Amino acid sequence: MRVGVYIDGYNLYYGARTMCGRGTAGWRWLNLRALAGDLLEKHKGLWPAAEVARVVYCTARISGAENHEGQQEQDVYLRALRVSGSVDELSLGTYRHPHRDGSAGRGGEAEQADPEPPTMAGDDSGQWWRPRS
Amino acid sequence: MIQGNGGVPVPDAVFMVSVARREEKGSDVNAASHLLLDVLTNVVDAVIVVSNDSDLALPVEQARLRVPVGLVNPTPGYPAGRLNASPDVGVGRHWWYQITGDDLRSAQLPPNVGTTIVKPPKW
């Protein structure tokens, strides 16, 4: 039985980071084909004679303008996946703002905002108010 | 023009904006597309989907009508309700699994890959 494995790289990365710890080593350099094989081994009762036929990894490039080190490390990892044969297909989407706190960050794109709640307006008196809607 | 108290125009008003943004960048759509393409062109007989994103509900549901599906939740959170189903729906033999830290730590690439690729030090 030929098994195709489809991986949402973002879901996996953030899930793994929450599980293993952001500052902890030992989980990021993941061998996706080996993981797929382990998953089949755990389910060989239900799927006997199953083999990993295709590993498809879907992720997005990290923007170097916003996260230079992250982009370089991701680059190394994607090359490792390709060269080791850990994936058969690498599908890259477009990465946008990585800032979870909502800040635009260095090199972020400016966005026009409509002056309605939750927008606040302020002048140089230091006071802030919500525009009338 | 923005007006301050008493209707005074404030030409240099500053705006503070709070933005809620989805974080994924098409990786879910790409995974769904590859999944359905491979199932519909018969290049696979079963599939494993590694995601807990409920946006994959429809493609996964469609896949289950054609091939057995293993759904792997890679997060420590509850499995997405919309990705749940009966193991017998469609062609049957579907399963669900929540990945563990040990699964990840025991499936690592060697520190050196090829002659030039080295695992980043903090990884």
In this predicted model, what pLDDT tens digit does every residue of B32-55 receive, in sequence order? 999 999 999 999 999 999 999 999
pLDDT of residue A93: 76
What's the rounded Cα separation, in Å, for the pair B115 and A72? 18
What's the rounded Cα separation, in Å, for the pair B3 and B12? 10
Q: Report the residue from B47, B68, B117 with minimal CB separation from A76.
A: B117
What's the rounded Cα separation, in Å, for the pair B66 and B80? 22
| Residues from chain A contacting residue B99 (CB–CB below 8 Å) | 15-16, 19
pLDDT in tens, B62-71: 999 999 999 9
Q: Is B88 touching A (CB cutoff 8 A)?
A: no
Cα A111 to the center of its chain, rounded Å: 23
- Is A4 in Cβ contact with B97 (below 8 Å)? no
- pTM for the model: 0.77
pLDDT of residue B79: 95
- List of residues 6+ apart from B69 with CB closer than 8 A: B46, B47, B48, B49, B60, B63, B94
Q: Is B26 touching A (CB cutoff 8 A)?
A: yes
> How close A65 gets to chain B, by Cα (Å)?
17
- Is B47 in Cβ contact with A3 (below 8 Å)? yes
What's the rounded Cα separation, in Å, for the pair B82 and B28? 15
ipTM for the assembly: 0.82
The answer on pLDDT for B115 being more than 70 is yes
Nearest CA in chain B to A41: B103
Looking up tokens 């023009």, which residue turns up? Answer: B1
- Is A121 in Cβ contact with B76 (below 8 Å)? no
pLDDT of residue A120: 54
